Structure 1
């Protein structure tokens, strides 16, 4: 149990830095409420869970291959540009104030989170940081420690998402439509900035491969 709570704190800590998932989760939480914000977080956690399973099955070396990682930088950048542009363009649309009904499907918001999380940055993180942590607890004859560590980190991420969205839900009740609109614009700009970073990493990685 101590091992689980130790890595729950680790998961909570690594989820705190602001990234594309956090930005999209906050934006959706403000515009459409807790459940839609959480849908983005669940999409991200789905990718995290798949990566943990791949690491467990020994696919870390495959995920680290440049020919697999490089296209993901470009795909991730293009999707974030689209998401950022859409966030700015439709900043005054799809705003559902507290008490109003949401028309957008939960699944569509979940898929947004899924696609934002499919980035080489996320893959590299799990291989380098989480992969190293799990390698210390992995034993081919005893998988319990590995599973406890994985469950602890995912629980920490889940706790972070619920905490963040609870704050967003409370804040949302006192925000006007105009305020939410401008938050959406700022979120779009930040997502495009993340896309710029992805493009930079794509160019650097591609140059390194060619040279």
Structure 2
């Protein structure tokens, strides 16, 4: 029953996902080759495999039925199928992620700079939300999602997911890019390489520099 629900869920994503951000392809497909190191730079994509050597295996990605390990902190696990590990997605403008959440675990504040995201809850209950830009008054849009619910995170906006149920939760997200990217807010601000000046951060957040020093210790590697 659960497997059947997963199939229906993924088919629903195919019909719901109409947002697009990547350029439209000019050929049927362009299975990616990782040859940039030997053939120079590339822009907005990857080199293409000879289409005459492409097989159905290039468009196959297994394992989305298997739960991720949420036993260690922070109790959240994501499995991505994007152009970096699924070459058949190259130039097609879509990607998918499986999210597994332990009870009370959090997918922390982050952005996807190159994609809008549609999330579908398969099991459990999530509190989700995103924050609009200052153009829209930094308005916060929260919502509680239950099994079968969809929610959209617009491209580039800060958002999160929190498992507020007593059990595990499972969700799948579809992205309008083959390579949506992910920018974790706390890691980007307090764990940048090289570090952002503590004076800049202290003035930005209007707190004592000792607090900034403590936060940077948490996120610097």
Greater fraction of residues in strand: 2
On whether the aligned pair clears a TM of 0.5, the verdict is no
TM-score by length of 2: 0.26
Greater fraction of residues in helix: 1
Report the structure number with the largest CA radius of gyration.
Answer: 2
TM-score by length of 1: 0.27
